[in-house]
Amino acid sequence: MSTEQARKVGYARVEPRSADEDRERAYLVEGGCTAGVYVDDLTGEAQTGVLQALAVTQPGDVMVARNLFRLAPTFSRAQELVDALHAGRAALMLGAKTYRPDELPALSASLGMSADFERHRASIRVRRGVRRAKADGGGRTAKLSRAQQRSLVESYRTGRHTVAELAAVYRIGKSTAYRIIEQVDPVVEPAPVPTTPAPDLEATLVPASSAEVSEIELSR
């Protein structure tokens, strides 16, 4: 039996309960997926839909997906699915391209190389992040002491620093800084009341002249 005449099972990773899911379902139905259409949430880890699709796929059937993105979240997951189809002697259609069961091992090898490349890139990103953290002064920052928390809150309440600036100074996340600001009641010493010394009355008096004294005496 040719793949055009084979029974087709549709599968797609979609945004559930949205126009995206409606479009993918319509695409698969129009593509002749009379054996069923199964979906999974493309933002989640659950694989209920793909497992159901594999369960109903029989030897000689064709699993249909619009493209590789709709088929699997990673190259390694796609490779696992292709291997399962090959083991079940089923074909795979991605868009307009159909892979017969005997062509699936070559596709699996290609996906495996891409998966290795994907893993190496992820490993490099992690190592770079670790080096960057060490260059910035180390990895995970120790928990702030009570005194440091109060100092952070007092600095924030002066209005001279933003939360982002304080988080960078104390090497904590912005969410942690916000939580400290909401929870901590800083002990703020009252500003000393300025005291003005009593005036020296003798120093402020201007001595009268002898003529002024005579004038005062004559007036009595």
pLDDT in tens, 72-88: 988 999 999 999 999 99
**Between residues 182 and 71, the one the model is more confident about:** 71
Confidence of residue 217 (pLDDT cuts 50, 70, 90): very low
C-alpha–C-alpha distance, residues 135 and 131, integer Å: 6
Q: Of 2.40.100.10, 1.10.579.10, 3.40.50.1970, 3.40.50.1390, which CATH number belongs to 8-116?
A: 3.40.50.1390
Residues 6+ apart with CB under 8 A from 66: 12, 24, 27, 28, 94, 95
Residue 77 has φ and ψ, to the nearest 5°, of: -65, -40
Burial of 89 (0-12, 13-18, 19+ CB in 10 A): middle
Report the half-sphere exposure of 190 (CA within 13 A, side-chain side). Answer: 3
- Amino acid identity, residue 17? R
Read off the pTM: 0.59
Share of the chain above pLDDT 90, in %: 46
- If you ran DSSP here, which 8-state letter would residue 103 be given? G
Confidence of residue 4 (pLDDT cuts 50, 70, 90): confident
Task: Tell me the DSSP string of 122-179.
Answer: HHHHHHHHHHHHHHTT-SSPPPPPHHHHHHHHHHHHTTSS-HHHHHHHHT--HHHHHH
Do residues 32 and 42 make contact, with C-beta atoms less than 8 angstroms apart? no
pLDDT in tens, 149-172: 888 888 887 777 788 888 887 888
Residue 158 has φ and ψ, to the nearest 5°, of: -70, -20
Residue 204 has pLDDT above 60, yes or no: no
Residue 63 has φ and ψ, to the nearest 5°, of: -90, 135
Average pLDDT, the chain: 81
**Domain range list for the chain:** 8-116, 146-183
C-alpha–C-alpha distance, residues 50 and 66, integer Å: 14
Region 121-147: mean pLDDT is 68
C-alpha–C-alpha distance, residues 29 and 139, integer Å: 52
Terminal-residue alpha carbon distance, the chain: 142
- Partnered with residue 94 across adjacent β-strands are 65, 97
Confidence of residue 191 (pLDDT cuts 50, 70, 90): very low
Region 84-110: mean pLDDT is 97
